[in-house]
Amino acid sequence: MADGDDAVSVKVVSRIAEIPAAAWDSCAGTDNPFISHAFLNALEESGSATRESGWLPQHLLLEDRAGRLVGAVPCYLKSHSYGEYVFDWGWAEAYERAGGKYYPKLQISVPFTPVTGPRLLIRPDADADATRRVLIAGLIELAQRRKVSSLHVTFCTEAEWQAFAGAGFLQRMGQQFHWTNRGYTSFEDFLASLNARKRKTIRKERRDANEDVEIEVLSGPDVQERHMQAFYAFYLNTVDRKWAHAYLDRRFFTLLRERLADRIVLVMAKHDDEYVAGALNLRGPDTLFGRNWGCTERFRNLYFEACFYRAIDYAIEHGIARVEAGAQGPHKISRGYLPTPTWSAHWIRDAGFREAVATFLDREQRQMAREMDALEDEHSPYRRGELSTPVGGGRPREPTD
């Protein structure tokens, strides 16, 4: 395949281990740990994201004439819709009721990870626009060759969302709840930006949570294997209570510590010298990403303390711009996390089915926009006018990815 005067080649690999880590990371960059070679390889090597689990890697690679990797896409051939957090079960059911075969499909995402980040990974010294065009064309060609019903790009950046739309993909918008650091100097400084009722509630929740437990925040070499094994038990307990599926294998948490310890921020709660709960975060240069929570014993308001308030504490102390608290959760609004859009793009092979999905997405997007406005207008915990200007010379509210 060629673009302009520069000949390039596109290929697909079924294991990220086939790609040198340095080459992949030269395209992925360092801002988002979830698209790093180390994270994606830990998912595959642990057996969490493999053919057997219904996530067959089909990573798309773009090489220049010299064989240098200039672009890449984390891509999977899926036999189901589990572990994606942008739900298309209704689409699958409707298509199969009409006589179609929805699976397999192609999924461009980070498995089991509802975190916004780049999906078209481009080496900084490459021609970004040309490389993006070739990668998107390569994905469509891969979808055609694999004879899939559809191709889904989830939790991409807004700029990529627009680029995919330009190539004929359907656009979908979701929402999460993120906290923005507006130059706060302390947690009390953050509380001062809230209305009196919310300040009082949060102070009470923090008192309750810290009454019976001792909390540690661990990162880097302080995160030891015993911590990850304890956290895995918490993770399984949460899965069992929710009647869910344990997507992540025990070995995944070991590999995560071995390869990305400097990115881990692990909040661990101890009662009577035994760990009883934990919240796992990963950090980038300007974002703390909340990922998993679990417990073996229930303590009053500990979930809010470990997942939300300790994350805010950490972000303020380390000058981090925002905290992304994961999927779902309007309850996060009253704790300072406001609605923020997420983006996905969808290629549908069948023209009639595509038209039906497009009609649904148009209605859904208008409803989503209204809901986000209403949630912020009616339920924001911040004092009126507080978010109109940055605090203490900090960043303005809700920066765009």
In the structure encoding, which two tokens stand for residue 29, read together? 């960059």
Measured in whole angstroms, how far is the alpha carbon of residue 71 from the centre of its chain?
Answer: 21
Pairing of β 170-180 and β 338-348: antiparallel
Q: Is 166 helix (H, G, I), strand (E, B) or coil?
A: helix
Share of the chain above pLDDT 70, in %: 94
Contact (Cβ atoms closer than 8 angstroms) between residue 247 and residue 113: no
**What beta strand segments (E) does 272-382 contain?**
274-283, 287-295, 322-324, 338-348
How many residues would you count in the chain? 401
Q: Which of 1, 19, 8 is nearest to 73 (CA)?
A: 19
In the structure encoding, which two tokens stand for residue 222, read together? 């302080």
Q: Which phi-psi region, left, alpha or beta, contains residue 4 (left: φ > 0; alpha: ψ -120 to 50)?
A: left
Q: In the Cβ-directed half-sphere of 52, how many Cα atoms lie within 13 Å?
A: 8
In tens, the pLDDT along 88-116 reads: 999 999 999 999 999 999 999 999 999 99
pLDDT along the chain (401 residues), means of 10: 61 97 97 98 97 97 96 98 95 96 98 97 96 98 98 98 98 96 97 96 97 96 97 90 80 97 98 96 97 92 97 98 87 92 97 97 93 86 69 32 28
Give how far Cα 187 sits from Cα of 138, 274, 379, Å.
47, 27, 21
In tens, the pLDDT along 10-50 reads: 999 999 999 999 999 999 999 999 999 999 999 999 999 99
Distance CA(386)–CA(399), nearest Å, equals: 16
What amino acid occupies position 390? P
Q: Is 56 helix (H, G, I), strand (E, B) or coil?
A: strand
Contact (Cβ atoms closer than 8 angstroms) between residue 109 and residue 26: no
Residue ranges of domains in the chain, CATH in brackets: 2-168 (3.40.630.30), 178-340 (3.40.630.30)
Distance CA(315)–CA(324), nearest Å, equals: 11
Q: Which of 156, 185, 184, 153 is nearest to 169 (CA)?
A: 153
Strand partners, 345: 153, 171
Q: Which of 133, 206, 127, 190 is nearest to 320 (CA)?
A: 190
DSSP 227-291: HHHHHHHHHHHHHHHTT----S-HHHHHHHHHHHGGGEEEEEEEETTEEEEEEEEEE-SSEEEEE
Contact (Cβ atoms closer than 8 angstroms) between residue 258 and residue 38: no
pLDDT in the model for residue 7:
67
pLDDT in the model for residue 242:
66
